[in-house]
């Protein structure tokens, strides 16, 4: 489960570009086919999904019989009648056709598992000497692509010049090849070029939809809809629809889509493969095997059958099963690079990197152009340089320069999480649990999905494998890596307890809930946004959550609301209820049955009680966050919407005063008034309004919180103690605001406020563990209170980071070792200090103390 795509939502918001409405092909004036152009016109009609037109123009043609026969073969292939097509094509080839018929027959051979025949025919086509006309180049490209010669295919595609009536076909086929190699950007370019040439080209719309699915669901969905509107019965449209329905866990929808496929193009391996995938989703193993058998009857080398089912297993986080299907795919067709690549990917997700490498290397030898395979192999080389730290059920892998800094904190936290969750869920997960931490975000993305990107994600869990960004992967203060680790370990439990059948809303809800249980600020970053949504009746509710997780724009709030639902479920029947719920899912129950088993309530009843829970817990905050005057104004922000940070005009200030007076319970009204007063230099008035705002929404974060401004006011009024209190309160909610924490540390130092300083230092070290001064501060404080164990951790990290003063760092450690009674270590540390500074009196004294009376 990928953690918190908060940034992704924003990205999608920016990137949405809707596909312009396609021009219906029928409106384009076209010349009727001549005998010479019949085959191209038939291809064009089929490309537009107009199979009736293809039949009509073939029936009406005056072309010679061999041309008509070729055209009819194309129609038969499209309609899934390969026997008739094969007979026609064979006759044409036997009569000496070495172009279209030879190509189509070779491709048909491959689709039917007649690998040797197919290769022979396509090789024959490639080895002919002929003019490189655009048509010949395109045929060569298709043949080379089918034979796996990507380089030759690409060259041939590039050299294909003007291609009347076939440009869209050529660009789409090129796009398909690029898509298969995971070069999505290039594929999109090809599909768009195809659509420029012919807006009605259905496979181009479908290709575009597939290629955009990973980054832009809206445009992707629009492309599929366009294809459907242009060619409502096109089997490829319905095949992709079936795939989308299955991904959305809409099993009836999937079945209906596949039935439509079968009506338009019956009995194809693809249809049966997807029926097998559907059966897998339904837990019907017999039907899986039956479906696959039907697919293999049609194509004995159809490794894609296993691959499609394997992908479905992987979508359900059943990576061991996915790997097993991929193995069967490899056994069926050892020359299928994609099958080997799948096996490598799934094995990585089970944590078996050694075997994954073998599979990926085989995939790479077969197809060196597959981007994911290349990325994963390169990543495995990187991971091979990591430090491995085995600890109890965990195997951590850290980049070499981070292990000594992160391990001392990550390991105890992971063990605590494991212990906490083992108790709550009454479960011991399968292990070992592999946790890989990446200091480069794109490495994390490649480890997770095989491709760079994944901008909004911080961590991911595959059941026994956790991948995550290290704090180095993003600017300091961007996130709490500890919260990410806690969140992902919670996934290990919810996934495994439910035998990987937990719905996404619940596993994410549990993980965010668990964050909040451990640290009241974790998992509550969006409290104000949620309250705002609640005030506008825009929350999802129990029944709306699954769909909300399908919409990138709603994802962040869906995480939050799912955590509240989890909290509510726990409030009904305690941990036992949660355990029973997960067990019900493990037994194959769906939401309604699972709720009944765990809580004795229907979904509607849970919906009603959840609504009451939310109103009780967040009703007051929702009222505080509601638009006070119907202006659509949202929560405040520093710098001041409305005043532009230049001070409020008297009119604005009067209006804000009036608003605040009429809406004393409005956070927005109080915050806006406080800000306006502050900008006018009216500190006392500002403080009063901001205090009211802070009381209304104590958990406000970042720029929406009045507390940093209250701290500023306190400093201006020479009340640094109040400033420290405000910042500290702010940080109890805005837990990863390293800038505020550093500010607090500085203020605390000036005032010798040791407690506040320690608090601030802890926040800094947690969020930016590379801040050596924070560790120095924490270590020395621990040393001063003779907490030698803590001091040892902190001061060891100091040494690993490269301390500002090496002599002092070694002397600190010597003192720690003395405190721990480790005199020999103390002696060594003191000598290291003296190596840097031989006259360092403190180190000299520590050396003498360490050796006792030995001198």
Partner 1 sequence: MRVRRHAWVWAGVAGAWLLLAASPAAAQPARYAVLVQGASGEPAFATQHRAWLDQMVTTLRDKFGMAPANVIIHAEQPRDGEHRATADLVRATFDRLGQTLQPTDVLFVMLIGHGTGDSASAKFNLVGPDLTVQEWEALLKPVLSRVVFVNAASASFPFAAGLTGDRRIVITATSAPAQRFSTIFAEAFVQALNASAADLDKNNRISIWEAFTYASRLVKQSYEQKGLLATERALIEDNGDGVGREATTATGEDGTLATMTYLDAVVEARPTDSALQMLLQRQEVLTTDIDELKRKKASMPSAEYEAAWEKLMIDLATVSAEVRKRGGGL
Contacting positions for partner 1 (CB under 8 A): 475-478, 738, 742, 768, 770-773, 776, 804-808, 831, 834-845, 847-848, 851, 855
Which residue, 256 or 837, is less far from partner 1 as judged by CB? 837
CA–chain centroid gap for 189, Å, is 24
Nearest approach in angstroms of CB 496 to partner 1 is 37
CA diameter of the chain: 114
C-beta of 477 vs 779, nearer to partner 1: 477
Select 757 or 768, whichever has its Cβ closest to partner 1. Answer: 768
Residue 57 to residue 208: CA distance in whole angstroms: 29
Q: How far is the CB of 806 from partner 1 (least distance, A)?
A: 7
Instruction: Measure the CA dihedral 187/190/196/200, to 10°.
Output: -70
Query: Measured from the CB of residue 848, what is the shortest distance to partner 1 in angstroms?
Result: 5
* d(C-alpha 523, C-alpha 531), whole Å: 14
Q: What Å distances lie between residue 468 and 252, 448, 473, 560, 738, CA to CA?
A: 36, 9, 9, 20, 20
CB of 836 to partner 1, least distance (A): 7
Kindly compute the dihedral angle of the four CA atoms of residues 242, 245, 247, 252, in this order, to the nearest 10 degrees: -100
Distance of alpha carbon 137 from alpha carbon 128, whole angstroms: 12
The pairing of beta strand 459-461 with beta strand 465-469: antiparallel
The smaller minimum CB distance to partner 1, of residues 500 and 817, is found at 817
Radius of gyration of the chain (CA): 32
> Could you tell me the smallest distance in angstroms from the CB atom of residue 466 to partner 1?
25
Measure the CA–CA gap between 173 and 194, rounded to whole angstroms.
9
Q: Which is nearer to partner 1, 618 or 770 (CB)?
A: 770
Q: What tokens appear for 424 in the block? A: 């709550």
Name the residue nearer to partner 1 (CB basis): 245 or 810: 810
Minimum CB distance to partner 1 smaller for 1 or for 850: 850
CA dihedral 409, 412, 414, 417 (to 10 degrees): -120
User: Closest separation between CB of residue 402 and partner 1, Å?
Assistant: 15
Output the smallest distance, CB 775 to partner 1, in A.
Answer: 13
Region of 718 please: left (phi>0), alpha (psi -120 to 50) or beta.
left
DSSP structure class, residue 164: T
**Antiparallel, parallel or unpaired: β 387-391 and 394-398:** antiparallel
C-alpha–C-alpha distance, residues 615 and 601, integer Å: 20
**Of residues 233 and 836, the one with the C-beta less far from partner 1:** 836
Which is nearer to partner 1, 99 or 773 (by Cβ)?
A: 773
In the bound state with partner 1, the residue whose beta carbon lies nearer, of 5 and 850, is: 850
Cβ closest to partner 1, residue 32 vs residue 852: 852
Render the burial of 50-73: b for 16+ CB within 10 Å, e for the rest.
Answer: bbebbbebbeebebeeebbbbbbb
Closest approach of partner 1 to the CB of residue 840, in Å = 4
- Least Cβ distance, residue 523 to partner 1 (angstroms): 24
CB of 476 to partner 1, least distance (A): 6
Cβ partners under 8 Å of residue 272, min gap 6 = 291, 292, 294, 295, 298, 305
Closest CA to 508 of 471, 559, 581, 451: 559
- At its nearest, how many Å lie between partner 1 and the CB of residue 843? 7
Alpha helices (runs of H) in 351-399, residue ranges in sequence order: 353-366, 371-383
- Cβ-based nearer residue to partner 1, 368 or 838: 838
Smallest gap, in angstroms, from Cβ of residue 477 to partner 1?
Answer: 8
Q: How far apart are CA 833 and CA 207, in angstroms?
A: 65
CB of 794 to partner 1, least distance (A): 16
Tokens of residue 583, six digits: 């067990």
Say if strands 465-469 and 433-438 run parallel, antiparallel, or are unpaired.
Answer: parallel
C-alpha 60/C-alpha 69 separation (Å) is: 13
E strand or H helix that includes residue 430: none
Alpha-carbon separation of residue 251 from 238, 256, 282, 534 (angstroms): 14, 9, 8, 31
Q: Whole-number minimum distance, CB 823 to partner 1, in Å?
A: 14
Considering beta carbons, is residue 340 or 781 the nearer one to partner 1? 781
Exposed/middle/buried for 17, CB within 10 Å: 0-12, 13-18, 19+?
A: exposed
| Minimum gap (Å) between residue 745 Cβ and partner 1 | 12
CB nearer to partner 1: give 218 or 738: 738
What is the distance between the alpha carbons of residues 595 and 607, in angstroms, rounded to a whole number? 11
Are the C-beta atoms of residues 672 and 631 closer than 8 Å to each other? no
- Is the Cβ of residue 578 or residue 834 nearer to partner 1 in the bound state? 834
**Which among 802, 751, 742 is positioned nearest to 772, based on CA atoms?**
802
DSSP label of 769: T
Closer CB to partner 1, 240 or 807, in the complex: 807
Based on CB atoms, which residue is closest to partner 1, 476 or 819? 476
Closest approach, Cβ 847 to partner 1, in A, equals 5
Distance in Å, CB of 830 to partner 1, minimum: 8
CA 531/CA 536 separation, integer angstroms: 9
| Residue 435: closest CA among 497, 387, 506 | 387
Q: Which is nearer to partner 1, 256 or 831 (CB)?
A: 831
Whether residue 579 has a cis bond before it, omega within 30° of 0:
no
Sign of CA dihedral 569, 525, 772, 386: positive
Q: What is the DSSP letter of 267?
A: S
- Pairing of β 433-438 and β 394-398: parallel
Report in angstroms how near the CB of residue 777 gets to partner 1 at its nearest.
11
Burial of 385 (0-12, 13-18, 19+ CB in 10 A): exposed
């Amino acid at each position: 489960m990928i953690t918190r795509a908060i940034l992704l939502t924003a990205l999608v918001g920016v990137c949405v570009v809707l596909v312009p409405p396609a021009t219906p092909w029928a409106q384009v004036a076209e010349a009727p086919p001549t005998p010479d152009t019949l085959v191209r016109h038939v291809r064009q009609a089929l490309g537009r999904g107009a199979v009736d037109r293809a039949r009509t123009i073939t029936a009406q043609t005056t072309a010679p019989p061999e041309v008509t026969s070729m055209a009819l073969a194309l129609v038969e292939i499209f309609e899934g009648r390969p026997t008739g097509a094969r007979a026609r094509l064979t006759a044409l080839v036997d009569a000496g056709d070495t172009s279209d018929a030879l190509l189509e027959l070779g491709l048909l051979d491959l689709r039917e598992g007649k690998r040797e025949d197919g290769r022979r025919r396509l090789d024959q086509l490639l080895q002919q000497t002929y003019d490189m006309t655009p048509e010949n180049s395109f045929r060569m490209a298709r043949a080379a692509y089918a034979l796996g010669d990507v380089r030759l295919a690409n060259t041939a595609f590039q050299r294909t010049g003007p291609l009347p009536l076939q440009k869209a076909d050529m660009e789409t086929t090129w796009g398909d090849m690029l898509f298969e190699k995971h070069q999505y950007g290039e594929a999109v370019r090809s599909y768009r070029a195809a659509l420029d040439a012919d807006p009605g080209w259905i496979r181009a719309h479908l290709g575009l939809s597939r290629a955009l699915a990973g980054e832009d669901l809206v445009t992707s969905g629009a492309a599929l809809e366009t294809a459907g509107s242009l060619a409502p019965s096109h089997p490829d449209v319905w095949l992709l629809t079936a795939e989308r329905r299955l991904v959305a866990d809409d099993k009836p929808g999937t079945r209906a889509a596949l039935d439509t496929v079968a009506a338009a193009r019956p009995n194809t391996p693809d249809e049966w493969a997807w029926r097998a995938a559907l059966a897998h989703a339904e837990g019907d193993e017999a039907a899986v095997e039956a479906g696959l058998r039907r697919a293999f009857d049609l194509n004995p080398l159809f490794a894609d059958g296993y691959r499609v089912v394997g992908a479905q297993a992987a979508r359900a986080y059943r990576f061991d099963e996915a790997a097993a299907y991929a193995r069967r795919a490899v056994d069926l067709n050892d020359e299928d690079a994609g099958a080997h690549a799948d096996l490598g990917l799934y094995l990585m997700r089970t944590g078996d990197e050694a075997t994954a490498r073998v599979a990926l290397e085989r995939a790479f030898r077969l197809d060196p152009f597959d981007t994911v395979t290349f990325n994963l192999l390169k990543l495995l080389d990187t991971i091979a340089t990591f430090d491995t730290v085995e600890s109890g059920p965990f195997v951590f892998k850290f980049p070499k320069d981070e292990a000594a800094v992160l391990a001392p904190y990550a390991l105890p936290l992971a063990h605590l999480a494991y212990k906490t969750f083992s108790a709550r869920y009454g479960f011991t997960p399968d292990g070992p649990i592999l946790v890989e931490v990446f200091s480069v975000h794109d490495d994390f993305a490649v480890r997770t999905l095989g491709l760079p990107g994944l901008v909004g994600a911080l961590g991911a869990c595959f059941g026994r494998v956790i991948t995550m960004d290290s704090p180095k992967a993003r600017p300091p203060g961007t996130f709490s890596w500890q919260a990410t680790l806690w969140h992902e370990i919670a996934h290990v439990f919810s996934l495994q307890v439910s035998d990987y059948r937990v719905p996404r809303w619940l596993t994410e809800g549990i993980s965010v809930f668990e964050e909040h249980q451990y640290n009241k600020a974790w998992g509550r970053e969006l409290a104000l946004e949620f309250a705002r949504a609640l005030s506008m009746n825009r929350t999802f509710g129990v029944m709306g959550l699954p769909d909300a997780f399908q919409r990138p724009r709603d994802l962040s709030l869906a995480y939050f609301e799912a955590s509240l639902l989890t909290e509510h479920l726990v409030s009904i029947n305690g941990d036992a209820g949660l355990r029973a719920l997960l067990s019900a899912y493990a037994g194959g129950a769906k939401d309604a049955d699972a709720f009944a088993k765990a809580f004795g309530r229907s979904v509607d009843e849970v919906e009603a009680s959840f609504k009451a829970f939310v109103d009780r817990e967040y009703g007051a905050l929702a009222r505080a966050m509601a638009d006070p005057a119907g202006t659509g104004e949202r929560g405040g922000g520093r710098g001041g919407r409305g005043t532009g940070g230049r001070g409020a005009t008297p009119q604005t200030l009067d209006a804000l005063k009036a608003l605040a007076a009429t809406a004393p319970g409005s956070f927005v009204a109080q915050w806006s008034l406080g800000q306006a007063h502050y900008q006018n230099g009216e500190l006392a008035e500002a403080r009063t309004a901001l205090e009211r705002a802070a009381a209304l929404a104590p958990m406000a974060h970042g720029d929406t919180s009045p507390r940093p401004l209250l701290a500023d006011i306190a400093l201006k009024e020479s009340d640094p103690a109040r400033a420290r209190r405000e910042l500290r309160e702010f940080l109890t909610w805005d837990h990863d605001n390293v800038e505020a924490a550093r500010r607090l540390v500085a203020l605390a130092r000036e005032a010798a406020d040791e407690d506040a300083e320690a608090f601030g230092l802890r926040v800094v070290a947690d969020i930016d563990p590379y801040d050596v001064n924070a560790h120095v501060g924490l270590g020395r404080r621990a040393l001063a209170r003779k907490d030698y164990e803590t001091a040892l951790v902190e001061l060891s990290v100091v040494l690993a980071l490269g301390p500002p003063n090496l002599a002092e760092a070694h002397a600190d450690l010597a003192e720690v070792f003395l405190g721990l009674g480790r005199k020999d270590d103390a002696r060594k540390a003191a000598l290291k200090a003296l190596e840097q500074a031989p006259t360092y009196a403190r180190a000299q004294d520590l050396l003498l103390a360490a050796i006792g009376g030995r001198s």
